[in-house]
Each structure stands twice: as C-alpha cells, then as structure tokens.
C-alpha cells in the first residue's frame, strides 16, 4: 500500500515536470531587419568666399560748366587750362580775300598737355537744366599764330581765295549722361597733335569768352 502511494506521487511529479515550461532554456527570437554600420570620416570643407567685384565710383567734377579730363588709369579728373579769348573780326586784303571771325587767346600753347594715345574722355557737371549740351559748348582746334592761339568761328571768302591760311576747326563730339548733372564727353575719333579748347557759345554776341584749353603732343606717325 505504501509502495503504491509512493509510485503514484512520483508519477505525478514526473508528469508535472514534463508539462511545466522550463524558464531560461528556450526563448522566441524575433527576426528583424539587419543593418550594416557604415563609418563615414568627417572631412571639413574649406570655406569658399564669394568674390565680390568692387564697383568703381566715378569722380565728380568740383565746378559746374567746366570740362575735366578723365584719367581712367588713376580714376581722377584733371582740370583744364582756364583762359580768356577775344572774339575778333578781321578783313583780309581790304576784303578782297574775305573776312574771318575768330577767337584769339594769349600764348601759342596750353600749359595742360596730354601724351596718351588712349581714348580721351572728359567729364562736365551742369546745373541740371541742360537739355542739349552740344548746343552750349563747342570744341575747337586752335592754330598757333603770332604767339597766340586762334580758332576761326566763321569765314567769308572774297574774290581772292587764300588756301594756304591755316584754320582752326570745329571738333564734333557726343555726350553721354552719367547722372542728372554729370555728362561724359566722348570724341568720335582720335585727336591729332595740336592745341584745343572747349568754348561756351550760348551767347555769341559776347566779345570775350572763357576757353578750357589743353594740348596734345603725339605725332600722327606714332
């Protein structure tokens, strides 16, 4: 009787052992995505500074109604010679060779001289109310004569022509507006060697005019 009871208890223990879960011996492993580890070396890139082109500020003339030579290399303005010229009328050979009206100023050459063969530019500042600058100011080639400089404004030929007489001439130019008051004077062609002057001709009835003179020294063969 005791042996039978003992056997029965042992059988129950064995049965419970096989039916109870054994902790730590088995576990459910969830399958997930696999990831590869990539090691990236950090490289510091050099800072590239943007190149900002410096804007060139053009010089401004100090005085109004006065042309200035523009030195592009130095970005500066050079003041021209301020001279006075008389408006004269002269008959040639009692009128047989006609008559001329011309501007005459002292000294055969200007103290202000240029030798560069690059394009010559001039700046001029006005009061802001000028509509057509070319109708107010003219550029003349002056001819040295008797220790003076002359530029013929008008000429009337007579019965006997005088072809050998040297004459000053009018030089055409164009004007470009830089701002409301400042203009750039551009010459259509390279000037030859000689004496030149800007003249305000708004009132041609005057007997005396202000000339802004300059000279050019290079030769035509240069």
- Report the 10 Å Cβ neighbour count for 1: 5
Please state the domain count of the chain. Answer: 1
Inside any domain, residue 168: yes
Inside any domain, residue 107: yes
d(CA 18, CA 27): 17
Phi/psi of residue 26, nearest 5 degrees? -140, 145
The parent domain of residue 193 ranges over: 68-216
Query: What number of residues does the chain have?
Result: 222
d(CA 199, CA 185): 14
Inside any domain, residue 17: no
CB-count exposure of residue 71 (10 Å: 0-12, 13-18, 19+): middle
pLDDT in tens, the chain (222 residues): 555 555 565 565 555 555 555 444 445 555 555 556 666 666 677 777 766 666 778 899 999 999 999 998 889 999 999 999 999 988 765 555 578 889 999 999 999 998 866 678 999 998 877 667 888 899 999 999 889 999 988 876 644 445 545 567 899 999 999 888 899 998 877 788 899 999 988 777 788 999 999 999 876 555
């Amino acid at each position: 009787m005791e042996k039978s009871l003992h056997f029965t208890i042992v059988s129950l223990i064995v049965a419970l052992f096989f039916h109870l879960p054994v902790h730590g011996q088995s576990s459910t492993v969830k399958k997930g995505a696999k990831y590869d580890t990539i090691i990236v070396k950090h490289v510091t890139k050099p800072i590239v500074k943007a190149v900002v082109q410096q804007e060139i500020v053009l010089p401004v003339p100090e005085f109004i109604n006065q042309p200035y030579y523009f030195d592009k290399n130095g970005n500066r303005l050079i003041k021209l010679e301020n001279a006075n010229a008389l408006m004269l009328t002269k008959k040639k050979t009692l009128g047989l060779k006609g008559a001329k009206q011309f501007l005459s100023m002292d000294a055969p050459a200007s103290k202000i001289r240029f030798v560069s063969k690059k394009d010559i530019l001039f700046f001029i500042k006005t009061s802001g109310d000028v509509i057509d600058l070319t109708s107010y100011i003219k550029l003349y080639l002056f001819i040295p004569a008797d220790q003076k400089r002359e530029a013929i404004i008008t000429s009337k030929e007579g019965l006997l022509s005088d072809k050998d007489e040297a004459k000053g001439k009018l030089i055409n130019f164009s004007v470009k507006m830089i701002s409301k008051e400042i203009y750039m004077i551009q010459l259509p062609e390279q000037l030859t060697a000689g004496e030149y002057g800007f003249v305000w001709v708004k009132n041609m009835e005057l007997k005396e005019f202000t000339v802004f003179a300059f000279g050019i020294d290079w030769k035509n063969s240069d």
